[in-house]
Amino acid sequence: MGLEVNPARSTFVAAIVAGAFAFFAPRSAHAADVTDSEDVEAFARVVVDSADLRTGPGVSFRVIYTAHRGETLALDGRPGSGYWLKVILPDGRSAYALGDEVEPFAVGSDEKNAPSRPGFFAPPPLEGAHGGLALIGGVFNGPTTSGARESMGYLEARPSIVLHKTLSLDGFLGDALTSNGSEILYGGGATVYLLPSFVLCPFVGIGGGGISIFPNSDSFVLKREDLFVARAGGGVLFALRSRILVRLEVTNLTLFNSESYKNAQTYAGGFGVYF
């Protein structure tokens, strides 16, 4: 006696299998496409001698970076109007390049010598900047109104005018609190950035100004003292991916007048921004 197959049931089972395949197959293909797209990065290569990259998609926007032939920049989408490409600069800033001056291309992440996007740390955004401001704090090790040396807390504001990516003019205004008074440091100087295109950018600086040492108001023996200041130092500067600047530095101060001179040092670090 043979097994009898119900034609209606067979048709129903076949329909279920076909429907399940139709439901899952597009999603599997889409997942494969997503996986493949995640392994591909888009870049733009400069194909002219020099290309001005701007803050917005138009020639009326400010130039913040100049790229040269063969330089590769990560691509970050394209605006809806005009032929401008949005790219990511080596220091993490976004900029716009004219489409005729760059050639878009894609590479796989496993390709040999493939370019890469900027990481969490980036070179300081000095190129194209006009000014900056940093707030630093640390330790001031120097003489007090009583003549003794003391290590004290120190806070300084430092505005800058950027003349070139390798040079800026700086002002400084600092305050150190001692056990018997406060010391106000003020003046200006210049900073030279030795490797402005590197992630860790070393710098050296020189300057001069003055320092006013104020005793506490309840002191009847100590008096205010004003001295000239010559300062020199150096450190390193780098930027985080969000364009927050970090600076670490050591400075030597020579405090002097017509009668004497003294030495002091600052060990400081802080945050800043260029614009």
Shared domain for 135 and 270, answered yes or no, is yes
Q: Give the span between the Cα atoms of 227 and 28, in whole angstroms.
A: 76
Shared domain for 112 and 144, answered yes or no, is no
Position 51, amino acid: A
Q: Give the span between the Cα atoms of 231 and 229, in whole angstroms.
A: 6
The pLDDT assigned to 78 comes to 60
User: Which one has a higher pLDDT value, 16 or 40?
Assistant: 40
- Range of the structural domain that residue 70 is part of: 41-118
As for how many domains the chain has, the answer is: 2
3-state secondary structure of 257: coil
Name the percent of the chain lying above pLDDT 70.
77
CATH number of the domain within which 232 lies: 2.40.160.20
Q: Is residue 243 part of a domain?
A: yes
Shared domain for 113 and 157, answered yes or no, is no
The pLDDT assigned to 244 comes to 81
Highest mean pLDDT of the ranges 85-94, 111-120, 154-163: 154-163
Q: How confident is the model at residue 259 (pLDDT cuts 50, 70, 90)?
A: confident
Q: Give the span between the Cα atoms of 68 and 52, in whole angstroms.
A: 9
DSSP 8-state code for residue 166: T
pLDDT greater than 50 at residue 16: no
Distance of CA 98 to the CA centre of its chain: 24
Shared domain for 101 and 154, answered yes or no, is no
Q: What share of the chain is helix, strand, coil (3-state, %, to 5)?
A: 15, 55, 30
> How do residues 132-168 score in pLDDT, each as one tens digit?
999 999 999 987 766 678 899 999 999 999 999 999 9
Which of 118, 147, 179 represents a domain boundary (last residue)?
118
Report, as an integer, the average pLDDT of 105-133: 79
> In whole numbers, what is the pLDDT of the chain averaged over residues?
81
Report, as an integer, the average pLDDT of 112-118: 69
Shared domain for 175 and 107, answered yes or no, is no
Q: Is residue 4 part of a domain?
A: no
Q: Is residue 237 part of a domain?
A: yes
Q: Is residue 86 part of a domain?
A: yes
Q: How confident is the model at residue 224 (pLDDT cuts 50, 70, 90)?
A: confident
Q: How confident is the model at residue 101 (pLDDT cuts 50, 70, 90)?
A: very high
pTM value is 0.70
Strand 50-54 to 84-88 pairing = unpaired
Highest mean pLDDT of the ranges 4-8, 86-90, 253-257: 253-257
pLDDT greater than 60 at residue 7: no
CB neighbour class for 237 (10 Å; exposed up to 12, middle 13-18, buried from 19): buried
The pLDDT assigned to 147 comes to 67
Shared domain for 88 and 143, answered yes or no, is no
Q: Is residue 126 part of a domain?
A: no
> How do residues 24-46 score in pLDDT, each as one tens digit?
344 333 333 433 445 678 899 99
Which of 89, 118, 147 represents a domain boundary (last residue)?
118
> How do residues 194-214 score in pLDDT, each as one tens digit?
999 888 999 999 999 999 988
Highest mean pLDDT of the ranges 94-108, 115-129, 238-252, 259-273: 259-273
Position 232, amino acid: A
